[in-house]
Structure 1
Amino acid sequence: MNIIKTPIIPPRQQFAKVEAPHELDKKAICIFAATGFFLDTDTYFQNQKVLPPASENSMDENGMLLKSTPWFKWHYSPRNISFETALDEFTQLFETIVAEQANNRPVILPLSGGLDSRTQAVALHEQKAEVHSYSYSFAGGFKEHHISAQIAKTCNFRFQPFIIPPNYLWQVIDELANINGCYSEFTHPRQMAVLDDFKKMQGSFSLGHWGDVLFDRGVGKKEAHLPELEILYKKIIKKGGLALANKLWIQWGLEGSFEAYLKERLEALLNQIDIDHKGAKVRAFKSLYWAPRWTSVNLSVFEEAHPIHLPYYDNRMCAFICTLPEEYLADRKLQIAYIKQRSPKLAKIMWQAQKPYNLNNYHKNKAPGNLPYRISNKLQREGNALLGKKYIQRNWELQFLGMENDEQLQSYIFNPQFHSFVPKSVVTEFYNAFKTQDPVTYSHPVSMLLTLSVWYANNRP
């Protein structure tokens, strides 16, 4: 018998067999189509499951799951401590984790215009680590790497900018399918465009995933009055995803309605979380079911090049979060205070989410003070549009728009063999809606159809 203990937030999926028919789990696939990730322990097949987070799992020599027992449960037990004490504790814990993970070896640090990687940059700079940093921007999009370059320069890190080009997906789609098992749609992992460059670097990755969830309010102010189920339902359903899931549910002749099934699943999972505080409960749900099944899936791309470390995934960090008052986590207070205290120079660099403001003056990002920048930015985008320069904001725009992309896309989703799984009428409906109605809304369904087509070509039952 084999015992596998999973972390509180698993960085990779581990599969096990269960007693069930070896048949497609079409209900699970409908949820995947709607949200972009599989829920709970679901997979493509009924007799295969993913080991749950924070659990001890007994398996036989054939990989059959015998028993699964939780060893940690998310909770909300805020201590009566000052913000200064919380900041001191965070500083010590975070820098300890980062130092242990770096282990006096070279570190590869993805930098962005946000706070998670900037917080890592502070810790690594404090430790005088050897860091090779990089950032990427979309061709024709916001030059995020300009902010990252300033951070790297301030910390004396080596820095390498990447521009994600159009059409890269079709050269790497088979490799990506092999890496992530088609458990995520293909337009998100832009790191695939520079995987060969990653392999030339030296060191291990320090990745900032999930910091923005742990260190922010669990529920936004505008949705605080809503029930947890409604909040989560709205958050996980992608634009156009519900329409695709409903259509597949009907085409596959599944009992009841997709929406009722999804809400029933979500409510059952929520009821298992013994937390009364709404924000903390939603954060726990995301960490249990969203992080392992969406965020973690494409970490495997980084692992193709080098080992990965995730300071925000660390078990100690998750346990620490459960003991902090929600007000200290809200609005990124701890990370902002940490950066301002440890590195005032980094605090002065633009925060992309609050551009053109920084960590010292972002509270001014409201009308009328921010109107000059907003007007100037809009005029610049409109001017570029008149010159035929499209402003790229999303990866799918690089991979789905234009004649070359369209030919490649059609070759996958209009493959006759795929239509024995997803009827051609469904594919045609959503493809036409993407092309003629609303590409923003229907990019997700088209991307999911592409993902399912590649999966089905390699895994036909």
Structure 2
Amino acid sequence: MSIQLSILPTNHFYAKTQAPNELFLEAICIYVATGFFMDDDTFWKDRVCLLPAHTHEVDALGYLISSTPNFNWYHEPEHRPFEVVLEEYVALLTQIVKEQVGNDQVILPLSGGLDSRSLAAVLQLLDNPVQAFSYEFEGGYHETKIARRIAQGCGFQFDAFRIGKGYLWDCIADLAQINGCYSEFTHPRQMAVLAQMKQMQGVFCLGHWGDVLFDRGVPEGTMDNDLVALLLKKMVKPGGMALAEKLWEVWGLEGQFRDYLVSRIETALAKIAIENASAKVRAFKTSQWAHRWTTTNLSVFAAAHPIRLPYYDDRMSDFICRVPEAYLADRRLQIAHIQKDKTLAGHTWQAQRPFNLNNYQYNKVPYNLPYRVLNKSKRLLKGWFGQPYVQRNFELQFLGADNDVQLKQYLFDPSLYGLIPQSIIDDFYAKFTKDDYVHYSHPISMLLTLSLFNKEVNQAVNRN
């Protein structure tokens, strides 16, 4: 059987290999440090996730025979005026959206950013009925206010949801089944509203990965010999290196974990035959964590309705390879597209709040000082009254007495100690609760994920 995968597949395909049927501990250490697996790694040595942009031959028993690239990232910018490239981009995005949604009703998750707003700019000109929705953290920034204004301006139906405390514990087993434990559980906050999403009608139109394709890959002036260090810094989550190194040591793996991870990054970068540093890193990000992290979390949307991803379309990747870097930097094309509609551009850009796409260049001192002072004062005032400002999903799922009871049931499950010694769990739980809960939230989340993975493995063994 031949399986041809696109540059960015919207789901994962797996195959067996002749390797030993045992845990791929080195790969799991990378997963613990970064939150995603690299290349075709999985939890197991004898199972691979088929690479994107390859054609794979798989036999009748599901064993991988061969893999051949069907696309190689390149960088051949065609120098033409920005206005010409903008017209090409808008035309391409419009064409892809039209083809993907057809005559279906569209479900559009809206945020305060640019990717979903770019899709709204296209969809408002089509005849498809659109059901938009947004969600915000309980006690956090009112992101749904921006989304509501965008939806109303475009004539879309709109629903607003709130991500509440402790929702994770009621659905964590379902989430483990949906994503196969290939992503930790506090990032896909849409899981909190899965039941509501299932009540909607239509196909999802999702703006994922537009923010990476349509921006600079690295800061201006980055040298080629700085790329590995830059990627290492971007990939490794706070506290992730410390936990991975502990596991590497206790599992008795050869060498040092950091050296192993660096070598994997170097090998993956070497396969991308692009000299331009920004374009090279963009290609690396797309083939690595877009495929193994972003796509994994799409599975929650797919559990409700079919998903459509315009920025995942092969034509979009090919287009990016031919656009001058100066036009991609700082989201220039997306901003210029949205600015064609001054009303749509006039709604707050969350990353530049309180400014919008018509005046975001004023988000600097002294113009933004009044907002910064007022915003900080509000947050401090709420904190004094016992209402801390919530910025991250884990704060709603891990903090507080009730959450702590649930969390400890998974972290301190004796069946997990065969994989991860209790001393390591004790150490990182103590650091999370006593030292710095923000810095150690990622290790705690990864330990939670591995606990669910371990449960799945034990249940599979018992069934057999």
Say yes or no: TM over 0.5: yes
In the TM superposition, what is the alpha-carbon distance from 1:227 to its structure 2 partner? 1.1
- 3-state DSSP of counterpart to 1:13: coil
- 3-state DSSP of counterpart to 1:16: strand
TM-score (norm 1): 0.98
Mapped partners of 1:371, 1:222: distance in 2: 30
Q: Quote the residue 1:405 is aligned against.
A: 403
Which one of 356, 369, 372 corresponds to residue 371 of structure 1?
Answer: 369
Mapped partners of 1:46, 1:249: distance in 2: 16
- 3-state DSSP of counterpart to 1:227: helix
Mapped partners of 2:382, 2:111: distance in 1: 24
After superposition, residues 299-378 of structure 1 pair within 5 angstroms as 299-341=298-340, 343-378=341-376
Mapped partners of 1:416, 1:157: distance in 2: 50
- 3-state DSSP of counterpart to 1:350: coil
Residues 1:232 and 2:258 are matched in the alignment: no
Structure 1 runs of 4+ off > 3 angstroms? 221-226
Q: Quote the residue 1:382 is aligned against.
A: 380
Mapped partners of 1:186, 1:360: distance in 2: 36
User: Which ranges of structure 1 fall in alignment gaps of 5 or more residues?
Assistant: none
Q: Quote the residue 1:452 is aligned against.
A: 450
Mapped partners of 1:410, 1:248: distance in 2: 20
Residues 1:21 and 2:32 are matched in the alignment: no
Mapped partners of 1:170, 1:163: distance in 2: 16
Deviations 1:190-237 (A, max 9, x none): 111110101110000001100000001111248668611111100000
Assess if the C-alpha contact under 8 Å between 1:223 and 1:231 holds in 2: no
Q: Quote the residue 2:100 is aligned against.
A: 101
Q: Quote the residue 1:243 is aligned against.
A: 242
After superposition, residues 150-169 of structure 1 pair within 5 angstroms as 150-169=149-168
Residues 1:280 and 2:279 are matched in the alignment: yes
- 3-state DSSP of counterpart to 2:108: strand
- 3-state DSSP of counterpart to 1:205: strand
Assess if the C-alpha contact under 8 Å between 1:217 and 1:330 holds in 2: yes
Mapped partners of 2:372, 2:418: distance in 1: 49
Q: Quote the residue 1:206 is aligned against.
A: 205
Q: Quote the residue 1:427 is aligned against.
A: 425
Deviations 1:242-262 (A, max 9, x none): 000000000000000000000
Q: Quote the residue 1:438 is aligned against.
A: 436
Residues 1:143 and 2:146 are matched in the alignment: no
Equivalent AA in structure 2 for residue 115 of structure 1: L
TM-score (norm 2): 0.98
Mapped partners of 1:40, 1:63: distance in 2: 19
Assess if the C-alpha contact under 8 Å between 2:215 and 2:328 holds in 1: yes
In the TM superposition, what is the alpha-carbon distance from 1:129 to its structure 2 partner? 2.2
CA root-mean-square deviation: 1.0
Residues 1:392 and 2:399 are matched in the alignment: no
- 3-state DSSP of counterpart to 1:440: coil
Mapped partners of 1:419, 1:88: distance in 2: 58
- Aligned positions, number: 459
Mapped partners of 2:18, 2:271: distance in 1: 23
Equivalent AA in structure 2 for residue 375 of structure 1: V
- 3-state DSSP of counterpart to 1:34: helix
Residues 1:42 and 2:41 are matched in the alignment: yes
In the TM superposition, what is the alpha-carbon distance from 1:368 to its structure 2 partner? 1.2
Equivalent AA in structure 2 for residue 172 of structure 1: C
Mapped partners of 1:70, 1:276: distance in 2: 20
Mapped partners of 1:138, 1:433: distance in 2: 25
Q: Quote the residue 2:116 is aligned against.
A: 117
Assess if the C-alpha contact under 8 Å between 2:7 and 2:314 holds in 1: yes
Deviations 1:258-280 (A, max 9, x none): 00000001000000000000000
Equivalent AA in structure 2 for residue 98 of structure 1: V
Assess if the C-alpha contact under 8 Å between 2:342 and 2:358 holds in 1: no
Q: Quote the residue 1:12 is aligned against.
A: 11
Q: Quote the residue 1:290 is aligned against.
A: 289
Equivalent AA in structure 2 for residue 49 of structure 1: V
Cα 1:221–1:367 shift into 2, 3 Å: farther
Equivalent AA in structure 2 for residue 431 of structure 1: Y
In the TM superposition, what is the alpha-carbon distance from 1:18 to its structure 2 partner? 1.1
User: Which ranges of structure 2 fall in alignment gaps of 5 or more residues?
Assistant: none
Deviations 1:169-209 (A, max 9, x none): 00000000000000000011111111010111000000110
Residues 1:51 and 2:39 are matched in the alignment: no
Mapped partners of 1:276, 1:117: distance in 2: 31
In the TM superposition, what is the alpha-carbon distance from 1:126 to its structure 2 partner? 1.1
Mapped partners of 1:3, 1:119: distance in 2: 35
Mapped partners of 1:419, 1:232: distance in 2: 32
Equivalent AA in structure 2 for residue 188 of structure 1: H
Q: Quote the residue 1:257 is aligned against.
A: 256
Equivalent AA in structure 1 for residue 440 of structure 2: Y
- 3-state DSSP of counterpart to 1:4: strand
- 3-state DSSP of counterpart to 1:439: coil
Cα 1:132–1:410 shift into 2, 3 Å: same
Q: Quote the residue 1:217 is aligned against.
A: 216
Equivalent AA in structure 2 for residue 446 of structure 1: I
Deviations 1:266-309 (A, max 9, x none): 00000000000000000000000110100000111111110000
Matched-pair identity in % = 52
